[in-house]
Structure 1
Amino acid sequence: MTYRYRLAAVFLMGFFVDCINIFMPAIALPTIAAEFRVGVSAVAWVANAYMLGLTLAIPVSTWLAGRWGARRLMAGSMLAFALAVWACGLAGTFGQLVGWRFVQGMAGGLMIPVGQAAAFNLFQGPERARISTLVMAVALIAPALSPWLGGLIVDHGSWRWIFHSNIPLALAAAALAWGWVRDTPSERPPRPDLKGLALISIALASLLTGMSLYGAGQDMTLAWLCLAAGVASAFAYVLHYRRSTHAIVELKLLGSPRLRLSVAIYHAIPGVFTGVNLLNIFYLQDVLGMSARATGMLMIVYACGAFVAMMAGGRLYNRAGMRPLFLASMALHSLGVAALAGVTAATDTWLLAAAYGLMGLGGGMGANTAQTTALLDFDGRQTHQASVIWNINRQMAFSVGAAFFLMIFNSLATHLDASRAYHLTFVIASLTGLLPALQLGFFNTGKHRHAGHSH
């Protein structure tokens, strides 16, 4: 195996561990909520804390890699990850679980962007589609297997083993990083922009907290204050960025139309799906009485659809271009989300399978095309900077999608019965997922057809 594929293998293993820890705990959230006696909005912080940790760590990962070396950073982050999942499984209170999930997210956030940027720099031009396909293959295997395995663990054991089962994988990733990754000489990056990092973290934490409080109907004044603080912090970062020479997130890279569009697509497809899937888990288990294992098996259907779409999208990307692939992915995904509104009983298995199959087709094609498109305009140091933006956006899409649609559902549930509130939320989500189609009108299909650089 050549060095670039060894490096890609280390990154992909770390990425696999990251994906597992997004999807596997989700299947246990109803059980965790019941054990710790917290509501749906509160238990969502098991996921939100992980995403916040990732968001905090991702921007400083490149700086730390420059000081410590990629080898030490990637191996050390996976060791810290193993410690955090062990502690999550031992948590005695909901606060402890959320706190260790935050630490777990920080450990994962140090590994992913460094590994991705290093791997993508070794695969240039049209070869980016090849490594992107490998990334998306991992992104399919994890959600296909982890919810089903998580459902078995919840139904026949303890939800705590959902976290403990990650320890061998994290230790294996640490060992491979130590044995395979080289520390190549590079210019040491400047000291990280801690003020900018604080502003971004405050903005995301405030927005998620505000949406959670608003959706749960708890202290509306505090909810609006949190939302206002989030918007103000985001605006403050923009002002800070204009005065800074080494801002933590290089906003000028969003001048790339392909990166901007890919960011929007990730919110519209994986982001929307995260929120919809979380709500559907509670709907199927709490309202319709479906088992955790049966709920988790739906992700296998999703993954099969995504695999077919990913294979087709990988072959069609350089021929057809991103525009038709993005349009098809949004249409398929939104149709699948809308189909969930017709599920009224646990016996509606064919409709559930069709919904998850369609969402898988749209999700696989959309995420794979976005992953390929996002970093096409960059190389060298800019790839690292764009990777920071891309990975922060990826985590934000998951967190914001879950928080936003929980807010919509909880607001509707104050006026409607639970089933109707779930169904109407799914309809709203299906329409939301089509919004990036408006951006596609600005792309000339001939100009943006191929995967070459546009410097």
Structure 2
Amino acid sequence: MPVSPLDARTARLLPWIVAIAFFMQTLDGTILNTALPAMARELLEDPLRMQSVVIAYMLTVALLIPASGWIADRFGTRRIFFGAILLFSCGSLLCALSTTLPQLVGARIVQGLGGALMMPVGRLVVLRAYPRTELVRIMSFITLPGLLGPLIGPTLGGWLVEYASWHWIFLINIPVGLIGCIAVYRVMPDLRGPQRSRFDTLGFLLFGGAMVLITVALEGLGELHLAHMRVMLLLLGGLACLAAYWLRAGQVAEPLFSPRLFRTRTFAVGILGNLFARLGSGSLPFLVPLLLQVALGYSPAQAGMSMIPLALAAMAVKPLAKSIIDRFGYRTVLTGNTLLLGALLASLGLVTATTPYAVLLIQLGLLGAVNSMQFTAMNTVTLIDLDDSSASSGNSLLSVVVQLAISLGIASGAALLGGFTSEIDSGEISSVLGAFQLTFFCVGVLTLLAAAIFLQLAREDGRSAKRVTTEIQE
């Protein structure tokens, strides 16, 4: 149930404000990669060192997200969401004004401070402001603009770099951020937790440290190309911090994330499902463009255009999510959809140089539609049965798991592809295309196995909010 009733104007405009903030954040994440080579040339840097621009933002987000729920409860959603958009916009301006790589990295950290709060606090506002019966519809709406980021980001980034300068990929955030700040100040309700709690500083340091170490370890398998010994040390250090946190969390009165959250079955299943079912979908942005360009010989422009059906189908399915989930229930939808998602990922392993282009576009479109339904159902079932006292903590933990799962998906995809590619010289795999085919098959099978997690849901799980609302109305 919402913390307080919303007037009609606020109820209508609030999803738009959150959706615009999500769009600004996802656009920035996809537009930047296209501009990195041009930025390196102007800053007189090695393009390989420019990865620090991405890593600085990612680590800042990983470190701060665990504290987002407590910060929103302590200072109010309006003030924090306003501050998040302002920080993100100021960081964008500082990025555009940067003349050296260290300045740019520092500016990206400022951006990360805002980005770490925008998505979890925005989702928390929706969770508290609307009845649980409206959660699927509102969540589908606010994530819809976020799907436009991967669709237009690479194309817009390339156009801005070619016809203007790389500075504009950051400057375009400023007018959007200004409009967002004004809208938040005028429209967004100031929602807070039912009671104040002390901040778990030691727990934050342990959990935040674990997320940073694990994230760097996962990136070390992929883009950072760290030695396996260093990756193992980072991973073991992160797991040790995580174990220390959970042992401590069961003994303190007000931990950052309480183990009691996992007594809610839908939350426990949703968190674990998000972690493992996103392995395949998290690797898609990394694997598909490489498949099209490296293995099939598409040009960058043709590869970018080929991704359009994936994004368009994802957006088309969002409005249908609520009626499908209401009709079949979370258990059936998530189990069946996860199996379908795994099968579609594995089907990309059947793509060859002779596969008709139309067939490939249909495969990508179906994959986008199923992936979109998966995200909506997983995120909603995770939060739908939490009470107001647990909402901010559970929502923050969901954001952490999503961030970790995306990194894990990219790292696992990169590790599998690298491993299969290394076998080409030995003759065990005949071509680069063969390495991609085996990678997609393995990723698909891993996703199929995640369906067993969603089978642990009861048929009526996630529908309690609907029954409660009906009883109140009667």
**TM-score of Structure 1 vs Structure 2, range by shorter chain:** 0.7 to 0.9
Q: Is the 8 A contact 1:89 1:161 kept in 2?
A: yes
Query: What is the CA–CA distance in structure 2 between the aligned matches of 1:270 and 1:95, rounded to whole Å?
Result: 33
- 1:80 paired with 2:87, answer yes
CA distance in 2, matches of 1:169, 1:181: 17
Give the equivalent residue in structure 2 for 1:229. Answer: 237
What is the rounded CA distance, in whole Å, between the counterparts of 2:97 and 2:293 in structure 1?
Answer: 25
Q: Secondary structure at the residue paired with 1:249?
A: coil
**Residue in 2 aligned with 1:56?**
63
Match of 1:452 in 2: 465
Contact persistence 1:331–1:362 (CA under 8 A): no
Structure 1 residues 49-58 or 69-78, which shifts more? Answer: 49-58
Aligned AA (1:85) = S
Instruction: Work out whether residues 147 and 296 of structure 1, in 8 Å CA contact, stay in contact via their aligned partners in 2.
Output: yes
Matched ranges for 1:280-291 at <5 A: 280-285=288-293, 288=296, 290-291=298-299
1:239 Cα deviation from its structure 2 partner: 1.4
- Deviations for 1:90-109, whole angstroms, at most 9, x for unmatched residues? 55566655554343222122
- Deviation of the 1:229 alpha carbon: 0.7
Instruction: Report the TM-score, using the length of structure 1 for normalisation.
Output: 0.86
Return the alpha-carbon distance in structure 1 between the equivalents of residues 91 and 299 of structure 2.
28
Secondary structure in structure 2 of the residue aligned to 1:246: coil
Match in the other structure for 2:321: 313
Rounded to whole Å, the distance in 2 between the matches of 1:454 and 1:401 is: 37
Maintained 8 Å contact 2:280/2:342: no
Aligned mates of 1:454, 1:233 — CA distance in 2: 41
Counterpart residue number, 1:9: 16
Instruction: Give structure 1 stretches of 5+ with no counterpart.
Output: none
User: Secondary structure in 2 aligned to 1:2?
Assistant: helix
Contact 1:53 1:106 in 2 (8 A): yes
> What's the counterpart of residue 420 of structure 1?
434
Q: 1:432 — aligned with what?
A: 446
Secondary structure of 1:433's counterpart equals helix
- For 1:53, the aligned partner's letter is T
Q: Pick from 252, 261, 264: which aligns with 1:253?
A: 261
Return closer, same or farther for 1:230/1:274 CA change in 2, 3 Å cut-off. same
- By how many angstroms is 1:241 displaced? 0.9
Would you say 1:373 and 2:387 are equivalent positions? no
- Aligned-residue CA RMSD (Å): 3.3
1:88-167 equivalences in 2 (<5 Å): 88-89=95-96, 97-153=104-160, 158-167=165-174
Give distance in 2, aligned partners of 1:44 and 1:314. Answer: 39
**Quick one: distance in 1 between partners of 2:336 and 2:65?**
31
Residue from 314, 327, 347 that aligns with 2:335: 327
Moved more, 145-154 or 373-382: 145-154
User: Aligned letter for 2:156?
Assistant: L
Change (3 A) 1:351 1:99: farther
In the TM superposition, what is the alpha-carbon distance from 1:259 to its structure 2 partner? 1.8
Amino acid at match of 1:213: G
2:423 match: secondary structure: coil
Matches within 5 A, 1:401-412: 401-412=409-420
1:200 is matched with which residue: 179, 201, 207?
207
Q: Normalising by structure 2, what TM-score?
A: 0.83
User: Is contact 1:212–1:406 with CA below 8 Å preserved after alignment?
Assistant: no
Q: C-alpha displacement at 1:418, in angstroms? A: 4.2
1:388 equivalent among 379, 393, 396: 396
Task: Determine what percentage of the aligned residue pairs are the same residue.
Answer: 26
Q: Distance in 1 between matches of 2:316 and 2:210?
A: 38
Compared CA separation, residues 409 and 28, structure 1 to 2 (3 A): farther
Unmatched tracts of structure 2, length 5 or more:
1-7, 425-430, 469-474
TM-fit CA distance, 1:430: 1.2
Counterparts of residues 7-46 of structure 1 (less than 5 Å): 7-26=14-33, 37=46
The Cα shift of 1:261 comes to 2.5
> CA shift at 1:390, angstroms?
1.5
Q: Is the 8 A contact 1:320 1:449 kept in 2?
A: no
The 2-side partners of 1:337 and 1:262 are apart by 21
Pair 1:204–1:29, CA change in 2 (3 A): farther
* CA displacement at 1:351 relative to structure 2: 4.0
Note if contact 2:137-2:319 (Cα within 8 Å) is conserved in structure 1.
Answer: no
CA displacement at 1:221 relative to structure 2: 2.2
- Change in CA separation of 1:127 and 1:211 when aligned onto 2, cut-off 3 Å: closer
